[in-house]
Amino acid sequence: MEDEIVYEIIISERAEDNLDKIITYLLSEWNETVKNNFLESFKKNLNFLSINPFVFQVYSKRKLIRKCLITKQNAMYYRIVDNVVEIITIHDARRNPKTVKL
């Protein structure tokens, strides 16, 4: 059996800022449970990406960016460079996809 490649995950400053905004929104408009569920889903997706980042759909062929849904309302955009997965941004999926800054 071949050794599995484990990809390093790097989260950009923009993605971290967006994550903070989402958490603040969830706490102000919903509650701690909803925030915790979101963070659990986010962490599960990060773990999955570290093992198999190629499974999610290509969002931009030109920039080689892929899209992973965290929840129905939030998507994570990332690229794979060598053995690194760079999380570029996290976007509210209810907003116009043309407003995603990559």
Quote the tokens at residue 45.
């997706």
The sign of the dihedral angle between the CA atoms of 47, 88, 58, 1 is negative
pLDDT tens for residues 7-60? 999 999 999 999 999 999 999 999 999 999 999 999 999 999 999 999 999 999
Q: In what order do the strands lie in the sheet with 74-81?
A: 8-11, 84-92, 74-81, 65-69, 58-60
| 82: number of Cβ within 10 Å | 7
Class of domain 8-93: alpha beta
pLDDT band at 4; cut points 50, 70, 90: confident
Domain boundaries, the chain: 8-93
